[in-house]
Structure 1
Amino acid sequence: MGVVTPRCIIVRHGQTAWSKSGQYTGSTDIPLTEFGVQQMLKTGESLFRNNQFLNPDHITYIFTSPRTRARQTIELVLKPLTEEQRSKIRVIVDEDIREWEYGDYEGLLTHEIIKLRKSRGLDVEKPWNIWRDGCENGETTQEFGLRLSRAIARIQNLHRKHQKEGIPSDIMVFAHGHALRYFAALWFKLGVEKKCEEDWELSDLESYEDETVPYVKLEKYRHLIDNPNFLLDAGGIGVLSYSHHNIDEPALALAGPYLTPAEEESYHEPGN
């Protein structure tokens, strides 16, 4: 009880030209707008300097999408930290948390995707739902769910290890709109569970390079079949944690990045 509960702080990259226009941005590698740059500089100042919502000494890892907009956001957010503080945080580029591969829908707006699918004779019985239907010539929801499930398993494994060692552990994840909303939903065990049976589900993909992060082989994973109804605008931050200091009870920290002092924490019986 003396050690703060581990947390996973999710950060969506700052504004880009396409996040502003609403275009689906998966593999297209575009930078932040000038507004996005200033937006994330202010976020960093708020998190670490003005309001001190995060203790930089508690950040053990940062996992990031390989896309420029995510990695640029990290640099801007961490700017208030000293070189020594930044040097203690391991930054891991992880392909598993890249944005949804949109395939034929890359760069399109939602109404354009709906029109395209209609021209192809799709969605006759019910409207398109990306969380259920995925993307033509892109990723299915099962493929997306599998790689995000792998990332979650690694992060929770690190949290379990750090908790046993008595190490405060905030792990930050810098990624994208669909990826982080999907990630949060799976953190709470939403969607459906599927056993790893097919070759693509069983294959051991090397999505990152870091010897300090153990690979966790999954026997099963989760994927969504409907919209989780979570919102996360460009530059937005969310905090995922655990109930009762228990890694097996993932939960949403409604207080966001603010950490309640240990002596002020209220006690809740398990299940409450």
Structure 2
Amino acid sequence: MADKDNSTPRVYLFRHGETEWTISGRYTGVSEIPLTANGEQQVLSTGRVVVGAGKLVDPARLARVFVSPRKRARTTKVQVTADISEWGYGAYEGLLTAQIREARRAQGLDAQVAERLDRLIATIRAIQGPNMHGEAAADVVLVAHGHILRAFVKRWLGYPMEMPLNLMMSPGAVAVLSYSHHRVDEPALMMGVSLPVQHKE
């Protein structure tokens, strides 16, 4: 991000760490699948690298943290919201993508998810809109799940849910959204971010 854009609010998307079902590729909606030991380490490692004073996610710049109500994403001192929870897969729970994709589309389930995400995006933009030049802390963190975060990016950018936009996000990873030209009506996906320089003390 160019220096002139450093004050533009950001939305950080954190995916929860690895579970047994992320390893096998199974859909995990409402099932409470715990993180593996490796998944716990992924989250801790990511946090140590990117969260803290002077780091990519600086708590002094945060206005809000939204977390899915699922145990694998939840932490303390955050606002838990069902708007960013993974959708319920019902009979699809535990199945693979190839077994599900067409049936979901036929049932119109994606429209319900789009409505939830649009509501959350409106909340975020209401927080960030008045602070497009760093007037107040306005960064937002979302901690959730792979599928819902990929859907969130589509809706953030104004794309319909059915648009084929292949996005990937590893367990324990972070992605960044922001705005072009300090304008709340120009949402953007940051293709890459440089980490702040850490000076040795």
For the superposition of Structure 1 and Structure 2, which TM-score range results when normalised by the shorter chain? 0.7 to 0.9
Task: State the distance in 1 between where 2:121 and 2:194 align.
Answer: 19
Task: State the distance in 2 between where 1:101 and 1:227 align.
Answer: 21
Match of 1:128 in 2: 102
The structure 1 segments of at least 4 consecutive aligned residues displaced by more than 4 Å after TM superposition are none
Deviations along 1:19-78, whole A, 9 cap, x unmatched?
Answer: 11111100001221100011111111111369822222111210011000001xx56xxx
Match of 2:148 in 1: 179
Equivalent of 1:190 in 136, 159, 165: 159
TM-score for both structures, normalised by structure 1: 0.65
Taking every aligned residue pair, what percent have the same amino acid on both sides?
Answer: 39
Match of 1:13 in 2: 16
Change (3 A) 1:2 1:33: closer
Task: State the distance in 1 between where 2:194 and 2:176 align.
Answer: 6
Q: Give the deviation of 1:129 after TM superposition.
A: 7.3
For the pair 1:241 / 2:185, whether they are aligned, the reply is no
For the pair 1:226 / 2:163, whether they are aligned, the reply is yes
Match of 2:80 in 1: 93
Change (3 A) 1:64 1:49: closer
Deviations along 1:111-136, whole A, 9 cap, x unmatched?
Answer: 5x26xxxxxxxxxxxx8275xx16x6
Structure 2: which 5+ residue stretches go unaligned? none
Q: Secondary structure at the match of 2:140?
A: strand
Equivalent of 1:23 in 22, 26, 37: 26
Higher RCO by CA contacts (8 Å cutoff, separation 6 or greater): 2
Q: Secondary structure at the match of 1:251?
A: strand
Match of 1:256 in 2: 193
Q: Give the deviation of 1:170 after TM superposition.
A: 1.3
Where in structure 2 are the equivalents of 1:47-126 lying within 5 Å?
A: 47-48=50-51, 52-71=55-74, 74=75, 91-111=78-98, 113=99
Q: Give the deviation of 1:91 after TM superposition.
A: 1.6
Q: Give the deviation of 1:164 after TM superposition.
A: 7.7
Task: State the distance in 2 between where 1:30 and 1:169 align.
Answer: 32
Structure 1: which 5+ residue stretches go unaligned? 76-89, 115-126, 192-223, 261-272
Task: State the distance in 2 between where 1:257 and 1:64 align.
Answer: 25
Match of 1:169 in 2: 138
TM-score for both structures, normalised by structure 2: 0.86
Question: Which of 1 and 2 has greater Rg?
Answer: 1
Q: Give the deviation of 1:259 after TM superposition.
A: 6.5
For the pair 1:141 / 2:110, whether they are aligned, the reply is yes
Equivalent residues, number = 194
Match of 1:218 in 2: none
Task: State the distance in 2 between where 1:34 and 1:8 align.
Answer: 27
